[in-house]
Structure 1
Amino acid sequence: MAILILGLIVFIGVHCTRLVAPAWRDAQVARFGEHGWKGLYSVASLVGFVLIVWGYGVARRTPTVLWVPPVGARHLTALLVAIAFVLIVAAYIPGNRIKRAIGHPMLAGVAVWSLGHLLANGTLNAVVLFGAFLVWGAVGAIVWRRRDQLAGVQYPVGTLSGDMRVVIVGLIAWALFAFLLHRWLIGVSPLG
């Protein structure tokens, strides 16, 4: 469990620098340059991610069961994860109204993804992993949205066609992951 927690601290910590220590981050960008900072950020993120995957895999070998997921949790999780994929895609496809409405759909998507996985997994390692990402995603989305509002940030007005592109790409990505990649990468078939 310690490896998983260390990975979460590194990964989420790196991703929180702009949120909790913007002056320090700006000083590092000035010190190392934009590309140098992005390189360090990427390496630290990768190290954190590898530790998370390794730590979660180790913790899965001897799980501590906290609760048994209720009947139907798997299907509710599939729905929430589909919504999460759409939200995450909305952060990257321009011209959609979802980004304008939510402000930071990637963070909101991470929070929804985490919530879905918490419902379907009742082990301690799952609570640590998905709980950490739920808190990070939810707090980040709320804080950044509030900061945007205080700063008067306005996101571009989207279109119905932009929304449709986001939904279609998001659902295709979700289907590929749910029906093919999840079993191959994670070892679990989420829909049976």
Structure 2
Amino acid sequence: MTILMIGLAIFLGLHSVRMVAGGWRQAQIARRGEDSWKLGFSVLSAVGLGLVIWGYGVARQAPVVLWNAPAGMRHAAGLLTLFAFILLAAAYVPRNHLKARFHHPMVLGVKAWAVGHLLANGTLADLLLFGAFLAWAVLAFIAERRRDRLAGITYAAGTARGTSMAIVIGAVAWAVFAFWLHGALIGVLPFRSGA
């Protein structure tokens, strides 16, 4: 559990700097340069994420079960993670209605992903991992919306083409991950019985 907690502290801590120390972040970028900041951020994020994945894998070998989720929760998790992938795609596809409406669809996608996994999994490691990401996403969404209001940021109107592209790209990415990559990377096949 220690490795998982260290990984979460590094990964989510880095992704919280803008929320809690925006002035310091800007000073570091000004002092070191944006490329240097991005490189350091990316390397440390990769280390944190690697520790999260490793720590979660270790914790799953001796699970501490807190509750047994009903079997139907897998389907709820599948639906919520589908929404999460669509929202993730919407963060990058230009001029879609999801980004125009919610402004920060990636953070909403993290919320949907975390809630879905909390519904379907009931170990202490699951609660720690997905609960931490859910708490971070709630706080990040509030902070990002506040920052937008203060800066007077407006978002481009969505188009049917942009929205359709976000939905298709997200759905295809979700299917590839859910039916193939999740098993290969995480060791769990979400839609197979006994997984």
TM-score interval w.r.t. the shorter chain?
over 0.9
Does the 8 Å contact 1:10/1:48 carry over to 2? yes
Kindly provide the amino acid, as one letter, of the partner of residue 85 in structure 1. Answer: F
Task: Give the structure 1 partner of residue 32 of structure 2.
Answer: 32
**CA distance in structure 2 between the partners assigned to 1:111 and 1:118 by the alignment:** 11
**CA shift at 1:48, angstroms?**
0.5
> Over the residues paired in the alignment, what is the CA RMSD in angstroms?
0.9
How far apart, CA to CA, are the structure 1 residues paired with 2:11 and 2:141?
Answer: 17
Deviation (angstroms), 1:155: 0.4
What is the Cα deviation at residue 143 of structure 1?
A: 2.0
Corresponding residue for residue 61 of structure 2: 61
Partner residue of 2:46?
A: 46
Could you tell me the percent identity over the aligned residues? 53
Unaligned 5+ runs, structure 2: none
- 1:9 paired with 2:9, answer yes
2:133 match: 133
Q: Take 1:58 and 1:78, find their aligned partners in 2: how far apart are those partners?
A: 24
- Distance in 2 of aligned mates of 1:153 and 1:8: 30
Q: Please tell me the residue identity of whatever aligns with 2:132.
A: A
SS of residue paired to 1:116: helix
CA distance in 2, matches of 1:10, 1:191: 31
Deviation for aligned residue 1:137: 1.2
**Equivalent residue for 1:142?**
142
Instruction: Using the TM superposition, name which of 28-37 and 113-122 deviates more.
Output: 28-37
Query: 4+ residue stretches of structure 1 with deviation over 6 A?
Result: none
Match of 2:182 in 1: 182
> Following TM superposition, by how much is the alpha carbon of 1:148 offset from its aligned partner in structure 2, in angstroms?
1.1
Write the distance in 2 (CA, Å) between the matches of 1:71 and 1:50: 29
The residue aligned with 2:121 is: 121
Structure 1: runs of 5 or more not aligned: none
Give the deviation of 1:162 after TM superposition: 0.8
TM-score, length-normalised on structure 1? Answer: 0.97
Q: Which amino acid aligns with 1:175?
A: A
Paired position in structure 2 for 1:81 = 81
Q: What is the total number of aligned residue pairs between the two structures?
A: 192
Superposed displacement of residue 152, structure 1: 1.9
Instruction: Give the TM-score normalised by the residue count of structure 2.
Output: 0.96
Give the C-alpha shift of residue 70 in structure 1: 1.4
Matched, 1:164 2:180: no
